[in-house]
Amino acid sequence: MITRINKYRIKARLRKGKIDIKKNVKNFFDWIKGAELIELKECDTSKDPVRPELDNDFRTSYGRKIYGVKYKDEIHAVMCFAFTNKIPKTVKELDLLSQDAFLQSAHRDQKVGKIAIAYTVWSTKKGGGKLIVKEVFKIIKKSNHLNRLVTLSPLTDMARKFHLRNGAIEVQVNESTQNFEYKIMK
């Protein structure tokens, strides 16, 4: 039987829980609203859970780029891209295709590749992965030469769920990777 005092304690705990939830939701949205997407010259590759073996030279050569979500002078999410004209099935193929697109652009219009291949993404803060996908998507939509955003994702259920949940469609499943595409409507 619940006594009157216990009843008030339970109500007090519920009210405190509601306040904590409201505070957490407010803090979450504050960080999302205050975050900005920036291009990075390098990143801490040891924090990359997808492809830590790829050094910063790889990530920034041949027209490749690193983007980060910055909030209060800290990077909370990172996404690395290579620009190609075909969809790669492996990291080695990604390397060769991005070099080829880079060399082709040097002889043409300086616009490297038509496809942005996101080959790694990670976040240290809840909501960071989804936010960086959304912000990079905006940049690609505004681009004159990019017409596709495709991933070179590891062959994991977590990667699959992440991309499908964020609006991508599965393009192909390879021997050790999988590709998802985010539709770009210009």
Q: CB count, 10 Å around CB of 145? A: 14
Give the burial class of 25: count Cβ atoms within 10 A of its Cβ; 0-12 exposed, 13-18 middle, 19 or more buried. exposed
User: Is the pLDDT score of 20 beyond 60?
Assistant: no
Q: 173 is in which domain, residue-wise?
A: 36-182
What pLDDT, in 10s, does the model give residues 22-43? 555 445 556 667 889 999 999 9
| Residues 56 and 7 reside in one and the same domain | no
173 DSSP β-pair partners: 178
What percent of the chain clears pLDDT 90, i.e. is strictly above it?
56
Of 32 and 132, more confident: 132
Domain total for the chain? 2
CATH code (residue 59): 3.40.630.150
pLDDT for the residue numbered 42: 97
What pLDDT, in 10s, does the model give residues 147-168? 899 999 999 999 999 899 988 9
Confidence grade of residue 108 (pLDDT, cut at 50, 70, 90) = low
Q: Phi-psi category of 167—alpha, beta or left, where left has phi over 0 and alpha has psi -120 to 50?
A: left
Q: How far apart are CA 15 and CA 21, in angstroms?
A: 10
The whole-model pTM stands at: 0.78
What is the total residue count of the chain?
186
Confidence grade of residue 139 (pLDDT, cut at 50, 70, 90) = confident
| Residues 49 and 135 reside in one and the same domain | yes
Letter for the amino acid at 24? N
Which phi and psi (to 5°) does residue 69 adopt?
-100, 120
pLDDT for the residue numbered 77: 95
74 DSSP β-pair partners: 71
| Residues 74 and 133 reside in one and the same domain | yes
Query: Are the C-beta atoms of 38 and 77 separated by less than 8 Å?
Result: no
| Residues 159 and 72 reside in one and the same domain | yes
User: Is the pLDDT score of 84 beyond 80?
Assistant: yes
- Neighbouring residues of 164: CB distance < 8 A, sequence distance ≥ 6: 170, 180
Letter for the amino acid at 178? Q
What pLDDT, in 10s, does the model give residues 40-75? 999 999 999 999 999 999 999 998 999 999 999 999
pLDDT for the residue numbered 113: 79
| Residues 112 and 168 reside in one and the same domain | yes
Query: Are the C-beta atoms of 121 and 89 separated by less than 8 Å?
Result: no
Mean pLDDT, the chain, integer: 85
| Residues 97 and 164 reside in one and the same domain | yes
